[in-house]
Structure 1
Amino acid sequence: MAERKLIGFIGVGVMGRPIARRLIEAGHTLVVFDRDDQAMAELAAIGARVAKSVREVADTATIVFTSLPTPAIFKEVALGADGIVHGETVKVLVDLSTVGSRAEQEVAAGLLAKGIETVDAPVSGGAAGAQKGTLAVMAAGTPAALDQVRELFDVFGKVFVVGEKAGQAQLLKLLNNMLSSTAFAITSEAYVAALKGGIDPEVMMAVINAGSGKNGATLDKFPKQVLPRTFDFGFPISSVCKDIGLAVDECQALGVPMWVGNTVRQIWNIAAMQDGKARDMTELVRYVESWSEGKGLTD
């Protein structure tokens, strides 16, 4: 069994909470902080210590995980006036967020100036993967820093070492999410076209998944969330917009034209602007259905 550790965890929301739970269940002691008192209370009920601030976490644990929603929040938590950078105990930050390579590099440089290493470690697999411990963990950091946290990754997923520089894992995660959201968008259009053409959607998915058109949407999200009309994958449209926006911007900065990526970004952004920000990403299908009838989405 891996050595039991005292671990800090900042951001225990949709993804952070099940990851933190698995670490606790594996025998580690966690000190947690989040703006949501209820989220912290759920973990306190199974043994977590609740901190009153980010700084308290960084003053307590040598290894601190973050799972945060936006680049701005991540930078404030890491480098702000009461941020991780001022912690007296923290030596390694493990960032599970999806914030893009530029934010990750800025934070890593700021922390390193104070002797704190950064492991850039975004995850893929959604809330269900976090609960099951089957996440894909893309990790970039120095070998010494990775050695300190690698066994912790095994608690909630499978680690893929991307490189030694913070930001490399962020780029790969954004590319992964861009492919996923693109697959879902085009599958939504194909699905609606099949319905309008009188094709049974169950037959459609069976044929596609037996052929060359299969993808993550046809294999997973459509059978589980779209065909039964539950629309409960657990990832909001606003987060898709954030991720694909970051992905397109980073790819363009690398000189890639992004003709397809820009078009897909527009599709998701239009859905978000039509009262879709808080809706589950699988509800994009409902927008395509309405647009195909020349209407907006109505409940």
Structure 2
Amino acid sequence: MAETLGFIGLGNMGAPMAGRLIDAGYELVVHDARAEAVAAFEARGARRAGSPAEVGAAASVVLISLPTPAIVEAVVLGEGGLVEGTAVRTVVDLSTTGPRMAAKIGAALGERGMVWVDSPVSGGAGGAKAGTLAVMVAGPPETCDQVIPVLKVIGKIFRVGERAGMGQTMKLVNNLLSAASMAISAEAVVMGVKAGLDPDTVIDVVNAGSGRSSSTLDKFPRSILPRTFDYGFATGLMYKDVKLCLDEAEAMGLSLWTANAVRQVWFQALNELGADSDFTKLIQVAERAAAVEVRGKAAK
């Protein structure tokens, strides 16, 4: 009989990860705030749960993929939360919550005999669909050993520590670099276009030279040059991740000057574009200031 897993959060990242688990033969009990998201998984054979507590009553291992630290805390520890489930013993958090929230929830679950596996992921919705995510796993070794076969279905495993929060720190370091490369790449390409360079040529040259990054290799060709802006990650979430990183750095007594500038760029994007906008629209902030448009040959 296939192992039954719980899965909470069927959004841009959660849905493809949960889908891969179904494809791998796992039986899922799922919950999401959006009925239509759950219905799509019921059609694939998953069981619906009316609350996080119901998920926790049906599966000993539950994975969660949720957008903000506050939502993670409410889903796990709040009224009707996972903590009220009678079967759950291990909770694997695939979200980005920050190290202090991970430590807080991990301690609260530990008092109830449950284990929190801090396991954020990176690689975007495309990586979630392809099963190529970077999965940053932190938790007790014996528990991690048990859940790693499940996590291998969604990506490549990196064991980064044994303490809740270490996975989150690794994720924030990664996302700060991603946010910084997006910000500076947008400004640099806009400058080139303002000077008369062809945007496709700019990206081709950069990707053949020393300035390349995941932004120029992937995000520009996929979503910016064709003007589709459909990468699948929200501006509000990127700002949240950068802010979380800076909050942690400040708590450690660090002054990250460049990171502070990156946070300001994303705060401006948040105000101009809105939290729900695709984060590749960041370039529009620089475009408006320069009165140019970075439009590749693939744009309609």
Per the shorter chain, which TM-score range?
over 0.9
Deviation at 1:288, TM superposition (A): 0.7
The aligned residue for residue 21 of structure 2 is: 23
2 CA distance for matches of 1:15 and 1:106? 24
Alignment partner of 1:97 out of 91, 95, 98: 95
2 CA distance for matches of 1:114 and 1:276? 40
The aligned residue for residue 201 of structure 1 is: 199
1 CA distance for matches of 2:133 and 2:281? 23
1 CA distance for matches of 2:3 and 2:42? 17
Deviation at 1:255, TM superposition (A): 2.2
Letter in structure 1 aligned against 2:252? L
Deviation at 1:55, TM superposition (A): 0.6
How much is the aligned-residue C-alpha RMSD, in angstroms? 1.2
Q: Is the 8 A contact 1:91 1:117 kept in 2?
A: yes
2 CA distance for matches of 1:170 and 1:265? 18
Give 3-state SS (helix, strand or coil) of 2:62's partner. strand
Give 3-state SS (helix, strand or coil) of 1:138's partner. strand
Q: Is the 8 A contact 2:194 2:290 kept in 1?
A: no
1 CA distance for matches of 2:273 and 2:129? 29
Letter in structure 1 aligned against 2:68? T
Letter in structure 1 aligned against 2:136? M
Letter in structure 1 aligned against 2:113? G
The aligned residue for residue 160 of structure 2 is: 162
Deviation at 1:4, TM superposition (A): 3.2
TM-score by length of 1: 0.95
Relative contact order higher in (CA < 8 Å, ≥ 6 apart): 2
Q: Is the 8 A contact 2:29 2:49 kept in 1?
A: yes
Q: Is the 8 A contact 1:105 1:166 kept in 2?
A: yes
2 CA distance for matches of 1:206 and 1:21? 34
The aligned residue for residue 138 of structure 2 is: 140
Give yes or no for the alignment of 1:184 onto 2:179: no
| Contiguous gaps of at least 5 residues in structure 1 | 295-299
2 CA distance for matches of 1:46 and 1:105? 35
Which runs of 4 or more aligned residues in structure 1 lie more than 6 Å from their structure 2 counterparts after TM superposition?
none
2 CA distance for matches of 1:94 and 1:76? 15
Deviation at 1:41, TM superposition (A): 0.5
The aligned residue for residue 213 of structure 2 is: 215
2 CA distance for matches of 1:160 and 1:140? 9
Aligned residues: 292
Q: Is the 8 A contact 2:273 2:281 kept in 1?
A: no
Alignment partner of 1:231 out of 225, 229, 235: 229
The aligned residue for residue 281 of structure 1 is: 279
2 CA distance for matches of 1:86 and 1:278? 32
The aligned residue for residue 297 of structure 1 is: none
Give 3-state SS (helix, strand or coil) of 1:137's partner. strand
Deviation at 1:175, TM superposition (A): 1.0
The aligned residue for residue 260 of structure 1 is: 258
Give yes or no for the alignment of 1:60 onto 2:62: no
Deviation at 1:270, TM superposition (A): 1.1
Letter in structure 1 aligned against 2:51? S
Q: Is the 8 A contact 1:118 1:145 kept in 2?
A: no
Q: Is the 8 A contact 1:85 1:110 kept in 2?
A: no
Deviation at 1:241, TM superposition (A): 0.7
TM-score by length of 2: 0.95
| Contiguous gaps of at least 5 residues in structure 2 | 293-300
Identity %: 48
